[in-house]
Amino acid sequence: MRALEALAHERTVTKLNIDETALQGPDNGPKQLPYDPASVFLLEMTVSIALQAPQYIEDLWSVIFPFE
Residue 31 lies in a domain: no
Residue 26 lies in a domain: no
Residue 65 lies in a domain: yes
Q: How far apart are the first and last CA of the chain?
A: 15
Residue 29 lies in a domain: no
Residue 3 lies in a domain: yes
3-state SS track over the chain? CHHHHHHHHHHHHHHHHHCCCCCCCHHHCCCCCCCCHHHHHHHHHHHHHHHHCHHHHHHHHHHHHHHC
Under a CB-based contact definition with an 8 Å cutoff, are residues 32 and 20 in contact?
Answer: no
Residue 27 lies in a domain: no
pLDDT computed for residue 18 by the predictor: 66
Residue 24 lies in a domain: no
Residue 68 lies in a domain: yes
- Which residue segment(s) compose the domain that 67 sits in? 1-16+40-68
Q: Please count the structural domains in the chain.
A: 1
Write down the pTM of the prediction. Answer: 0.58
Please give the chain's pLDDT, 68 residues, in tens. Answer: 788 888 887 877 777 776 555 555 556 666 677 788 888 888 888 888 888 888 888 887 777 776 65
